A and B are shown apart, each in its own frame.
Chain A
């Protein structure tokens, strides 16, 4: 069973009655499109629960929702079913991220916004029991909810079209991480592998990105801004490599986008004009995987943390045949497994990596054909 999780009360509060009704229609279209692909789904309204399974309604808080999803998983098992995936409908203003305490001391993050808390019954679980994705909306000044409607309709269309074949890939990395990136580029068979510098936003040939089916970015991100940076070998050499306006100028229908940038998936209070994650989704991408907080990686092999997760995710994508959500869960498990085999224990930064990487998009979408 695949659950779509929504709060009509919160949607109405954030976007108003008219947009809330459009969201409801778009959810119905998505459920129909999933059904046509044989994906069994049902809507869980947070305040109402699932009365036929004796799952009671709750308030819209991360703690209550995590508890409710755990009860739903158990209730489904009681009737011989299992929870395969959860799709959260709306951004932080509608369904809040869990704000976990930051596991890594002294790096400036107070908490780690995450959806990992919604992926298992136990609060301390590191391994997901089911996949979780989120279709976010626009937030902040000027937000009108139309991005959420668009992304729901987009997900339905992607189900109707069926699995794609990756024909065009795009990779973009800071020059200083070229060694670590090379191994990941190998897993993705990147055709257009760019380094920044020499490439910067002003010199980026957008035709390389336009129409890409798979996009991988290993660039720096910042907490208080929407752009990603390249870095030279020398101190302080940060150059703007990618901006939302660059992405908003291309088409990315059905693309799988993975970013390792710090705060690359931090979308609270933002829209597609000031978030690259939302810009990628607004231009048609099927999913965006990125970090909501400070992310980490090594300068050289062996790969670890965000690099290792990205490597495994692209390998899972390459295998094909699964859903985006299942690939994300499998990549996280593979990252944990490799880390334990390499260093015999998990560090705070490994735990942070598992927490902070989120999947935006419908987790039940079929991956590219193998």
Chain B
């Protein structure tokens, strides 16, 4: 496996700081949780599926970019004794733009 480059590490660190800021603002109950990081893996589409959805143009024009998904997870125990997982997933690109921030239902 190739070693991560310095620039990749720098962008990862910067992206993580952005993700942590998003969590502080939108999901304060997860503030302080150390995130797990993964790379966003684009879906593979058959031409037939893309055509069926009417998105051929979107897929044809999409350049490959590196985006990180930061997963912040903690579990609580409800008063009824059930395990309540609380997950936030924040997707950030190498230019520190937040692609999306979502949480578990």
**Count of residues in A whose CB is under 8 Å from the partner chain:** 53
Contact B85 A108 (CB under 8 A): yes
Q: How far is the CA of A344 from the CA of B60 in the complex (A)?
A: 10
Q: How far is the CA of A218 from the CA of B44 in the complex (A)?
A: 30
Contact B46 A347 (CB under 8 A): no
Contact A347 B104 (CB under 8 A): no
Chain A residues whose CB sits within 8 angstroms of the CB of B80 once the complex forms = 225, 227, 240
Contact B71 A345 (CB under 8 A): no
Q: A299-B26, A340-B55 are in contact. Are A105 and B71 (CB under 8 A)?
A: yes
Chain A residues whose CB sits within 8 angstroms of the CB of B83 once the complex forms = 222-224
Contact B101 A299 (CB under 8 A): yes
Closest Cβ of chain A to B6, distance in Å, is: 25
Q: How far is the CA of A220 from the CA of B84 in the complex (A)?
A: 9
Contact A298 B101 (CB under 8 A): yes
Q: Is B17 an interface residue (CB 8 A)?
A: no
Contact A337 B104 (CB under 8 A): no
Per-residue CB contact flags for chain A residues 78-92 toward chain B (1 = under 8 Å, else 0) read 000000000000000
Q: A107-B73, A223-B83, A238-B78 are in contact. Are A127 and B99 (CB under 8 A)?
A: no
Q: Is B53 an interface residue (CB 8 A)?
A: yes
Q: Is A260 an interface residue (CB 8 A)?
A: yes
Q: How far is the CA of A341 from the CA of B99 in the complex (A)?
A: 13
Per-residue CB contact flags for chain B residues 74-105 toward chain A (1 = under 8 Å, else 0) read 01101011111101010100000001111111
Closest Cβ of chain B to A351, distance in Å, is: 6
Instruction: Select A298's contact among B28, B44, B100, beta carbons within 8 Å.
Output: B100
Per-residue CB contact flags for chain B residues 37-70 toward chain A (1 = under 8 Å, else 0) read 0101111111001001111001100100000010
Q: How far is the CA of A233 from the CA of B19 in the complex (A)?
A: 20
A104-139, CB < 8 A from B: 104-108, 122, 124-127
- Select the stretch in A66-74, A289-297, A316-324 that faces chain B: A289-297
Contact B105 A262 (CB under 8 A): yes
Q: How far is the CA of A108 from the CA of B59 in the complex (A)?
A: 31
Closest Cβ of chain A to B42, distance in Å, is: 4
A314-368, CB < 8 A from B: 333, 336-337, 340-341, 343-351
Q: How far is the CA of A105 from the CA of B29 in the complex (A)?
A: 20
Q: How far is the CA of A318 from the CA of B59 in the complex (A)?
A: 30
Q: Is A275 an interface residue (CB 8 A)?
A: no
Q: Is A229 an interface residue (CB 8 A)?
A: yes
Q: A106-B73, A347-B40 are in contact. Are A294 and B105 (CB under 8 A)?
A: yes
Contact A336 B53 (CB under 8 A): yes
Interface bracket on B: 35 or more
Chain B residues whose CB sits within 8 angstroms of the CB of A294 once the complex forms = 85, 87, 104-105
Q: Is A285 an interface residue (CB 8 A)?
A: no
- In this complex, the member of A225, A227, A295 whose beta carbon has the largest number of chain B beta carbons within 10 angstroms is A225
Q: Is B36 an interface residue (CB 8 A)?
A: yes
Q: Is A261 an interface residue (CB 8 A)?
A: yes
Contact A238 B73 (CB under 8 A): no
Q: How far is the CA of A106 from the CA of B37 in the complex (A)?
A: 9
Chain A residues whose CB sits within 8 angstroms of the CB of B71 once the complex forms = 104-107
Question: Taking CB as reference atom, which chain A residue is nearest B27?
Answer: A299
Q: How far is the CA of A104 from the CA of B103 in the complex (A)?
A: 12
Contact B104 A295 (CB under 8 A): yes
Closest Cβ of chain B to A307, distance in Å, is: 9
A202-259, CB < 8 A from B: 218-225, 227, 229, 234-236, 238, 240
Contact B49 A125 (CB under 8 A): yes
Closest Cβ of chain A to B66, distance in Å, is: 12
Q: Is A271 an interface residue (CB 8 A)?
A: no
Instruction: Select A345's contact among B62, B75, B76, beta carbons within 8 Å.
Output: B62
List 17 extra interface pairs beyond A298-B102, A340-B53, A343-B100, CB under 8 A: A106-B73, A108-B87, A124-B46, A125-B46, A127-B52, A222-B78, A222-B82, A234-B29, A235-B29, A238-B84, A294-B85, A296-B102, A297-B105, A299-B26, A305-B102, A347-B40, A348-B40
Some 18 contacts from A to B, beta carbons below 8 A apart, are A107-B87, A107-B104, A126-B45, A127-B52, A219-B105, A220-B105, A224-B82, A225-B78, A225-B80, A225-B82, A235-B29, A238-B78, A240-B80, A298-B102, A299-B102, A343-B100, A346-B43, A349-B102
